[in-house]
Amino acid sequence: MESNDLPSGIIKRNFFLHIHANRVHVHSMKPTYTFGLGIILGFLFLIMIFTGVILMIYYTPSVDMAYQSVKDIVNVVPGGRIIRNMHRWASQGMVIVVFLHLLRVFYTGSYLGKRSLNWVIGVVLLIITLLSNFSGYLLPWDQLAYWAVTIGSNIAASARELTDLLGITNAFDPGGFLKKLLIGGESVGQAALSRFFTLHVIFLPLSMLILLGIHFWRIRKDGGLSRPLKYANDKGSTNKWYAWPVLMWTELGLFVLVVLVVLFVALLADAPLLEQANPSFAENPAKSPWYFLGIQELVSYSAFAGGLLIPVLYLVFLFSIPYRDREDGYVGEWFSGKRGLKVVWRSAVFAFLLVVMQLFVIIRFGWLRDWIPGISQWFVMLINPATITGGIFILLAEVIRRKSKSTRLGALALFTSTFVALLIFTALGIWFRGPNWEFFWSLKQWPVI
Ligand code: HEM
């Protein structure tokens, strides 16, 4: 049967065709257009919910019992270890895939035109994915969790560097307020555990569920996935295929594959569980979860610049992309063609060299305070690799935008350079920072403390 001759009875009876668009454009079917990343993300979210509900039955969110209840899940509850591992690895998978999906949507110009709102919803989903992950991190109440969240909560208080310098912290302390809002006090304890638990099992999953509903609805309202201009006038059934049966079975196959991969990883590797949290014995180095290590690296230069200024500017940039770049002609085209691709790889190489050179200087020769010990903290806060890198990238993007008279090329430059920098800072935090946040080529070089 021709795909376009689907009897209407099938549409009425088929549940899948009620939640999925029943006709899909041929361009959207190309595996190299979406790589199935959005759907994989949705499937990972389903795994998170399913395994999370089981874990919740056995988990106790109290400082005295949380650790033991996780130990029981791992050692006593039948299948508990696998369920916990699946939950953990699916959540890590979500963080990686959400960034890959962001890259695919950005580089195919899929925020252009009427899709700007869905891009903004996507950025909120990205934030919720990270926060869901971070709030779950504390729940096992082991040393890893405790000190990672302690670091995270200190990052939340980064504004204090500025208010301290202005001498107004006693009267106006937004950093302290944010930290208190997050953990319910000055240090991580029962209040933090209760807050994180509520955020993790109710507030964030519910918000994600609602926003995902809107995200998927918007895709259909926006006329399906983005596609190049040459297909813009394809209306009705032109160049479209019914989603049933080929796409439906492909997506079901993908679902089985995602479950199998997560299960396989869960069988191979256990989610970490160190000894019970001990607030009087700090881990050294105390590292935040890996996806915040880029920020932690920037915080090591300046709390205010790295923990607040740069992340806020980055979010403002992400949210504002579709409103600053409105060159709708580039929609649905990977890298906006050859000119865009050239800007992308040049920006990537430039960002790589700039960040690595600065890191070489800071690791080998130190920074302002090492050179001029009495220097004012204002200089350290304003002139450091976080602010220099950010400033140069903005300048570069502006030059490209003006010279090419193209906001899309400017956006490509800024997005690419900041993303490469984020990757390098994160990799540095994961693999090359050891005790006292010093640089080490490998774990074997760490001093015994
Ligand atoms: C939990 C997080 C997310 C889930 C489950 C999700 C899911 C999806 C799915 C299933 C699609 C359609 C298929 C595909 O493009 O692969 C899609 C498209 C889209 N997503 Fe997401 N997404 C998430 C996060 C994001 C983020 C972080 C952004 C960007 C900031 C974003 C922006 C978009 C846009 C603009 C589209 C339409 C793309 C087009 O028309 O080609 N999404 N998303």
| Residue 293 is assigned to a structural domain of this protein | no
> Is residue 122 lining ligand 1, measured as CB closer than 6 Å?
yes
| Residue 53 is assigned to a structural domain of this protein | yes
Q: In this structure, how many other beta carbons lie within 10 angstroms of the beta carbon of residue 295?
A: 25
* 374 and 255 within one domain: no
**Mean pLDDT for the stretch of residues 191-207:** 97
pLDDT band, residue 5 (cuts 50/70/90): low
* 311 and 218 within one domain: no
Residue 130 alpha carbon to ligand 1 centre in Å:
16
Measured from the CA of 34, which atom of ligand 1 is nearest? 16
* pLDDT score of 6 more than 70: no
pTM of the model as a whole: 0.94
Q: Tell me which of 16, 215, 320, 334 to substitute to probe ligand 1's pocket, judged by most ligand atoms within 8 Å of the beta carbon.
A: 215
Residue 198 alpha carbon to ligand 1 centre in Å:
26
Residue 102 alpha carbon to ligand 1 centre in Å:
7
* 315 and 261 within one domain: no
**Mean pLDDT for the stretch of residues 270-277:** 95
* pLDDT score of 436 more than 70: yes
Tell which of 250, 283, 316 closes a domain.
283
* 433 φ/ψ angles, rounded to the nearest 5 degrees: -105, 130
* pLDDT score of 376 more than 80: yes
Q: In this structure, how many other beta carbons lie within 10 angstroms of the beta carbon of residue 67?
A: 23
| Residue 319 is assigned to a structural domain of this protein | yes
pLDDT for res 447? 85
Tell which of 283, 315, 347 closes a domain.
283
Taking a C-beta distance cutoff of 8 angstroms, is the pair 409, 340 a contact?
yes
Taking a C-beta distance cutoff of 8 angstroms, is the pair 285, 89 a contact?
no
DSSP summary character for residue 307: I
CA-based end-to-end distance of the chain: 71
pLDDT band, residue 1 (cuts 50/70/90): very low
Q: How many angstroms separate the CA atoms of 219 and 227, rounded?
A: 12
Residue 38 alpha carbon to ligand 1 centre in Å:
5
Measured from the CA of 36, which atom of ligand 1 is nearest? 16
> Is residue 123 lining ligand 1, measured as CB closer than 6 Å?
yes
Q: How many angstroms separate the CA atoms of 6 and 367, rounded?
A: 68
* 419 and 306 within one domain: yes
Tell which of 231, 249, 283 closes a domain.
283
* 261 and 302 within one domain: no
* 335 and 259 within one domain: no
Range(s) of the domain holding residue 335: 298-449
> Is residue 329 lining ligand 1, measured as CB closer than 6 Å?
no
CA 353, chain centre distance (Å): 24
**Mean pLDDT for the stretch of residues 318-342:** 96
Residue 12 alpha carbon to ligand 1 centre in Å:
27
**Mean pLDDT for the stretch of residues 51-77:** 97
Residue 345 alpha carbon to ligand 1 centre in Å:
24
| Residue 290 is assigned to a structural domain of this protein | no
Task: Look at ligand 1, atom 14, and give the residue with the nearest C-alpha.
Answer: 38
* 164 and 57 within one domain: yes
Task: Look at ligand 1, atom 42, and give the residue with the nearest C-alpha.
Answer: 122
> Is residue 219 lining ligand 1, measured as CB closer than 6 Å?
yes
Task: Look at ligand 1, atom 6, and give the residue with the nearest C-alpha.
Answer: 38
| Residue 109 is assigned to a structural domain of this protein | yes
Residue 76 alpha carbon to ligand 1 centre in Å:
39
* 203 and 306 within one domain: no
Q: What is the number of domains present in the chain?
A: 2
Q: How many angstroms separate the CA atoms of 29 and 106, rounded?
A: 18
> Is residue 125 lining ligand 1, measured as CB closer than 6 Å?
yes
| Residue 396 is assigned to a structural domain of this protein | yes
* 354 and 247 within one domain: no
User: What Cα–Cα distance (Å) separates residue 41 from each residue in 16, 34, 45, 175, 290?
Assistant: 18, 12, 6, 33, 19
Average pLDDT, the chain: 94
Measured from the CA of 224, which atom of ligand 1 is nearest? 40
- Residues whose CB is less than 8 angstroms from the CB of residue 347 and which lie 6 or more positions away in sequence, other chains included: 396, 412, 413, 414, 416, 417, 420
> Is residue 400 lining ligand 1, measured as CB closer than 6 Å?
no
Q: How many angstroms separate the CA atoms of 418 and 393, rounded?
A: 7
> Is residue 34 lining ligand 1, measured as CB closer than 6 Å?
yes
> Is residue 119 lining ligand 1, measured as CB closer than 6 Å?
yes
* 193 and 223 within one domain: yes
* pLDDT score of 282 more than 90: no
> Is residue 317 lining ligand 1, measured as CB closer than 6 Å?
no
* pLDDT score of 296 more than 50: yes
pLDDT for res 211? 98
| Residue 266 is assigned to a structural domain of this protein | yes
* 47 and 76 within one domain: yes
Measured from the CA of 123, which atom of ligand 1 is nearest? 30
pLDDT in tens, 146-167: 999 999 999 999 999 999 999 9
Which CATH number characterizes residue 5's domain? 1.20.810.10
pLDDT in tens, 15-46: 777 777 888 999 999 999 999 999 999 999 99
Q: How many angstroms separate the CA atoms of 422 and 416, rounded?
A: 10
* pLDDT score of 390 more than 50: yes
CA 315-320-324 angle, 5° bins: 145
Taking a C-beta distance cutoff of 8 angstroms, is the pair 107, 190 a contact?
no
pLDDT for res 2? 43
Burial 364-373 (b: 16+ CB within 10 A, else e): eeebeeeeee
pLDDT for res 316? 98
> Is residue 225 lining ligand 1, measured as CB closer than 6 Å?
yes
| Residue 235 is assigned to a structural domain of this protein | yes
CA 319, chain centre distance (Å): 14
Measured from the CA of 94, which atom of ligand 1 is nearest? 1
User: What Cα–Cα distance (Å) separates residue 37 from each residue in 24, 104, 423?
Assistant: 17, 8, 20
* 178 and 145 within one domain: yes
pLDDT in tens, 402-415: 999 999 999 999 99
Region for 141 from its dihedrals, namely left if φ exceeds 0, alpha if ψ lies in -120 to 50, beta otherwise: left
Which of 208, 204, 43, 83 has the alpha carbon at shortest distance from 134? 204
pLDDT for res 3? 45
Taking a C-beta distance cutoff of 8 angstroms, is the pair 410, 325 a contact?
yes
